[in-house]
Structure 1
Amino acid sequence: MKTIINTKYVKNLALAALALITTTAFSQEEEEEKTKFEFSGTVDAYYRTNLTAPNGEDAIAPGSSFANLDGFALGMANVIATYEGEKVGFVADLVFGPRGTDAIFASPMYSATGDIVNQLYVYWNVSDDVTLTFGNFNTFLGYEVISPAANFNYSTSYLFSYGPFSHTGLKAAFDLGSDWSAMLAIMNPTDLTELNGTGDYAVGAQLGYSGQFLNFLYSQGGFEVDFTGGFDLSEEFFLGVNAAHFSQEDDGGSFTGVALYPQLATSDNFTIGLRGEYFMTSDFFGDTAGIGSDTDGDGSVFAVTLTGSATIGDLILKPEIRLDSSSEDAFIDNDMDPTGSLASVLFAAIYSF
C-alpha cells in the first residue's frame, strides 16, 4: 500500500512539475512575443552662441544642418515603434521639433505644419542572407545620421548636410559572408519621401566589408559616390572616415568633401573627439552654396569641431566648440563686417529611451 501511495505521489508530483514547466514555457513564449514590439527614441535640447559674430536678432550660424538656432533651443523628440517578427517586421520613426522638421524638409505635402515621418518601412527576411525593405528609410550614404544620439558631434558636417537625408523605395540587402555585404535599391528622387511627383527614379548600391562601405547613388542626373568607415586603432582610440563626391549632369555643379573623426575614450563615461572637414563646391547650382562662394558657385570651407561626450545613465551631455573658415566672406563679425570665419560654442543634452 505504501508503494502504491508513493507511486501516486510521484505521478502527481511529476504532473505538477510538467504543468509548471508547460505554464512557464507558455509564459516565456508570451513574454518573448511581447518584447518583439518596442518603443525607443530620443529627446534633445541645446544652447548655442557665437563667439566671433552677433547673437540674438542678428545671429548667424554655420551653413550645415541642425543645431543652428540661437540661445536655448530645441532639437527634437524622436519616437520609434518597432516590431520584429521571425521573418517580417516594421519601423515607424516619428520626429517632432525643429531638428525633425529640418530632416524632412522635402516631405510636407499633406499637413500645413509639416510631416512627422522620419522613417516608415516594412521588411521581410527572405532568408538568413537576404532582407527586403519597402517604404521610407534614412539614407545609406554618409558617416553621420539624423538621430543626435547616433552621432558623436552634435552639430553636423557639410558632407552630411549636402548629401541626401532619406529615401522612399525598395532595397535588398545581402549578406555575402566573410564580412562582405551588398545592397541594391530603386527609389523616388532624393528626399522625395511621401510620393514621387516627377516620374523619375533613383538607383542606389552599396558594397561593404567589415564595417567599411562604398556607396553609390544616381538621382535625376546627379551621381554621388561615398565612402564611409572607421577603424579601431586601439581599445581607446577610434578613427572615423567619410569622403564623397557629387556631380550633376549638364553643368549642374558638383561638391567634394572629406571628414576625419578621431575619438579618444578617456574613461568608461567620457570620450573626446574631433571632426576635421574640408568641403568644396564647383558651380553648385549657380548659387552661394551655403558655405560662401563666388559668383560662379565655387567655394570651400574648412571646419573643425571639438566635442566632449559624457554619459550619465541614459543621458548624454555634449559640450562643443566649432570653427568654420570659408574661402569667401560667408560670415560677419561682431562689427557686422563680412569675414571668412566663425567661432561658436554649444552645449547639448540628449536623453535616449
Structure 2
Amino acid sequence: MKYLFTLILVFISILLTAQETAENTSDKKFSFEGSVDIYHRTNLTAPNDQDQIAPGTSFADTAGFSLGMANIITSYEKGKVGGVADLVFGPRGEAASATVLNQLFVFYNISENTKLTFGKFNTFLGYEVIAPAGNFNHSTSYLFSNGPFSHTGIKVDFTLSEDLSLMLGVFNQTDVTEFNPDGSYAIGAQLGYSGHYLNLLYDDAGLGFEIDYTGGFDASDEFFIGINAAYADNDGEGFYGVDLYPQYSINQSFSLGLRGEYFQTMSEFIEDDLCVIGLTLTGSYTLDDLTIKPELRLDSGSEDIFIDTDLMNTKSLASFVVGAIYTF
C-alpha cells in the first residue's frame, strides 16, 4: 500500500511540475451557504415512548419533535487555489461526523480539466448524502447507512471529456477522519460517464472492499428514476443491495418520490443473513427556500427486528416523518 501511495504522490508531482505557471490573478470568489433541518417522527405500528424504536438506518430516528442538523459551508477561492470549511451542528451532524468539521479541505485547479483536493470530504460512494437538503427522501437508506460517510486524504479529479470523468484518491482508514491511528490507508476510484458513476473503495483495515453504482435517467420531463446498487465484503462480512428512486414532479412546487430498497447482510458466522425491504414514499413541497417533506416509511425484515404496540417482536415497522428543511 505504501508503494501505491508513493506512486500517486509522484504522479501528482509530475502533473504539478508539467503545468505551466499561470499569471497571477486578483479574482476572488467567496461563498456562504448552508441548511437547517428539523422534523417530527412517529411510529404507526410501535410505541413512541421508548428509545430507538426506529428503522435500522442512520439519523432521524427519535420520536416526537426532534432536531436534525444545521450546516454552514464557507468557501474561498483566489486564482487556482481555495479552501472549504463545512461545519455541522445537531444530532444528525454529530452522528455522521463526530466533530463539527463535516468537511475541511483545500484544492488546487491544476488545469481546466484537473483538480487536486487535500483534506476531509464527504464520500463519493452512494446516492444519498449526509445533509437532508441534498436528498429527496428525508430518512436515509440501508445502503447509505452501512457505507462510508467521509474520507480524509488526497484525491485528483480528471475531466476527460464532456461526459467522461475519473477520480483517484488515497485516504486514511474509512471514517477515521481526524488523524491516521495505525498507518493503514484506503484507495478509491470513481469513473463517471454522463451522470452514471462506478465507485470503488478498498480499505483493508476498515470497510474492506466496496463497489458501488450510482446513476439515473429522465423517463420524461417530469419523471426521473435514480438507481443505487452496492456490494461490500470485509473478510466474509458485508452487505449488498439495490435502491430505486422514482420521482415525479407534479408542478414547480410539489413532487412525489418513492424509495424502494432491498438490503441483504452477509456473514460467514450466521446461517440466515438478515434481509430488509424498505418502501419510503415522500412528498416534497417547496415554498421559497423552505421545503416540507411528509414521509411514510414501511420496513420489513426477514427476522423479528422490530417491536409492535404490544411490545412483542415483529418483522415490520411503519413510521411517519414530517421534515422541514431551510436552505440559504
1:39 deviation in Å?
A: 1.1
Tell me whether 1:44 sits opposite 2:30 in the alignment: no
Q: Give the distance between the partners of 1:78 and 1:297, measured in 2 at CA.
A: 40
* Contact 2:123–2:151 (Cα < 8 Å) also in 1: yes
Map residues 31-110 of structure 1 onto 2, 5 A cutoff. 33=28, 36-57=29-50, 60-105=53-98
Map residues 199-238 of structure 1 onto 2, 5 A cutoff. 199-220=183-204, 222-238=208-224
1:84 deviation in Å?
A: 2.5
Aligned to 1:281: 265
Structure 1 residues 53, 125: closer, same or farther in 2, change over 3 A?
same
Question: Partner letter of residue 298 of structure 1?
Answer: D
Aligned to 1:258: 242
Of residues 313, 320, 324, the one that matches 2:295 is 320
Q: Give the distance between the partners of 2:129 and 2:78, measured in 1 at CA.
A: 26
Q: Give the distance between the partners of 1:320 and 1:154, measured in 2 at CA.
A: 7
Of residues 142, 146, 151, the one that matches 2:135 is 151
Structure 1 residues 59, 116: closer, same or farther in 2, change over 3 A?
closer
Give the total of aligned pairs: 302
Question: Partner letter of residue 145 of structure 1?
Answer: V
1:267 deviation in Å?
A: 0.2
Q: Give the distance between the partners of 2:216 and 2:132, measured in 1 at CA.
A: 19
Q: Deviations over 1:29-74 (max 9, x none)?
A: 99x74xx112100011000000000102355000000110110000
Aligned to 1:292: none
Aligned to 2:253: 269
Q: Give the distance between the partners of 1:254 and 1:351, measured in 2 at CA.
A: 36
Of residues 303, 315, 333, the one that matches 2:278 is 303
Q: Deviations over 1:231-277 (max 9, x none)?
A: 0111100000000000012x3x1200100000000000111000000
Tell me whether 1:242 sits opposite 2:217 in the alignment: no
Map residues 142-181 of structure 1 onto 2, 5 A cutoff. 142-181=126-165
SS of equivalent to 2:95 = helix
The structure that has the greater radius of gyration is: 1
Q: Give the distance between the partners of 1:260 and 1:185, measured in 2 at CA.
A: 28
Tell me whether 1:346 sits opposite 2:321 in the alignment: yes
Specify every segment of 5 or more residues in structure 2 that has no aligned partner in the other structure, as ranges: 1-24
* Contact 2:199–2:212 (Cα < 8 Å) also in 1: yes
Question: Partner letter of residue 148 of structure 2?
Answer: P
Structure 1 residues 92, 59: closer, same or farther in 2, change over 3 A?
closer
Q: Give the distance between the partners of 1:188 and 1:149, measured in 2 at CA.
A: 27
SS of equivalent to 1:149 = helix
Tell me whether 1:139 sits opposite 2:132 in the alignment: no
Q: Give the distance between the partners of 1:345 and 1:238, measured in 2 at CA.
A: 24
SS of equivalent to 1:57 = coil
SS of equivalent to 1:205 = strand
* Contact 2:51–2:62 (Cα < 8 Å) also in 1: no
Q: Please, what TM-score do these two structures have when normalized by structure 2?
A: 0.90
Q: Please give the root-mean-square deviation of Cα atoms over the aligned residues, in Å.
A: 1.5
Q: Give the distance between the partners of 2:173 and 2:201, measured in 1 at CA.
A: 10
Q: Give the distance between the partners of 2:178 and 2:118, measured in 1 at CA.
A: 13
* Contact 1:53–1:59 (Cα < 8 Å) also in 2: no
Question: Partner letter of residue 106 of structure 2?
Answer: V
Structure 1 stretches of 4+ with a deviation exceeding 2 A read: none
SS of equivalent to 1:184 = strand
Q: Give the distance between the partners of 2:51 and 2:184, measured in 1 at CA.
A: 41
Q: Give the distance between the partners of 1:73 and 1:178, measured in 2 at CA.
A: 43
Aligned to 1:20: none
* Contact 2:52–2:61 (Cα < 8 Å) also in 1: no
Question: Partner letter of residue 339 of structure 1?
Answer: T
Q: Give the distance between the partners of 1:297 and 1:173, measured in 2 at CA.
A: 41
Aligned to 2:307: 332
Q: Please, what TM-score do these two structures have when normalized by structure 1?
A: 0.83
1:104 deviation in Å?
A: 1.3
Q: Give the distance between the partners of 1:196 and 1:242, measured in 2 at CA.
A: 30
Identity between Structure 1 and Structure 2 (%): 60
SS of equivalent to 1:159 = helix
